[in-house]
Every structure is written in C-alpha cells, then in structure tokens.
Amino acid sequence: MTWESWFKVGLPAIPAGFTIFGVWLYWQENPLPLLAPNLAFWGVVITYYLFGHLYLPNRNTPFWLAVGTALLWLVSSITSQNLARFLASGNYQGLFSILHNRDFWYAYVFAAVGFAVALWQFSRHEPQIVAQIKRERARIRARR
C-alpha cells in the first residue's frame, strides 16, 4: 500500500480529528453526537474515491457501495441529532445513560459499518488502483 493512497483516504479524517480536538479537548463539550456522522461521512468519502478511481468491468460495485455508505451516513446523522437532544435533556446522567439510548447505538453502529466496509473495500482494491494510476502516468510520460 502506498503512502499516497493512504494520504488521499486519510485526509478527509480532519473533521473527525477536529471534533475530538476542538469540541472535546478545547471546548470541553461532549463530542459523541458529532463524532458518529463524521466517521460515517469519512466512509462516504472513501467510497467516492473508489467510485472515481476503480474500474471493475461488468460490475457496479463501487456505485452501490457509495450509495449504501451515503444511506448509512444519513441514518447516522439523523440519529446523532436525536442523541444531541438527549444529551441536552435532563435524562442524560453520564456515560451509562448514553449506552441505554438507542439513538447512540443507531448512530455509532451505522457509522462503524459505513466506515469499516469502505475501509475494507479500499484496502482490498488499493493495489489495483495504484497499478492503474501507474499505467496512466506511464502513458502520459510516453506522450511527451
């Protein structure tokens, strides 16, 4: 695996890092409602990268993967909004009360599935993408 590919996929993690640093460490607020949609969206960005760079003949896998992770991100975002309402309410009593909230589980399970599937597909297809990029660069250099 090349550093260039991991850089392209790792760069969209900046919002997740900002959520942890900015919200939790700097402002001393609870980052749980904001972190799940960022992780899920990171999965969407990875699948968009795959959709834009991966060619699989006679298969629409990258397209359906991108659509699926976008739907997982949507559910994670909606349930994270409900989780934020729960944190602002009087029912929030700490970490254990969050674990009993189904919005927490929906937000984080959907985010984890969207991110993990995208990262697994990326690690599986990354050598093929790198080989394709090398062929295209060699063809461009040959034209000069």
Contact 32, 98 (CB under 8 A): yes
Contact 69, 114 (CB under 8 A): yes
- The b-or-e profile of 118-138 (16+ CB within 10 A means b, else e) is beebbeebbeebeeeeeeeee
Q: What is the pTM of this model?
A: 0.82
pLDDT at position 1: 65
Res 90 pLDDT > 90: no
Res 56 pLDDT > 80: no
133: which 2 tokens?
Answer: 């990029």
pLDDT at position 23: 80
The residue to which tokens 């980052």 are assigned: 31
What is the band of 59 on the pLDDT scale with cuts at 50, 70, 90?
confident
Residue 6 has a CB neighbour count (10 Å cut-off) of 13
Range 14-28 average pLDDT: 81
Length in residues, the chain: 144
Of 53 and 118, the structure prediction assigns the larger pLDDT to 118
Range 128-138 average pLDDT: 88
Q: Which stretches of the chain are DSSP H helices?
A: 3-10, 14-18, 32-53, 61-88, 95-99, 102-143
Give the integer Cα–Cα distance in Å for 143 and 141: 5
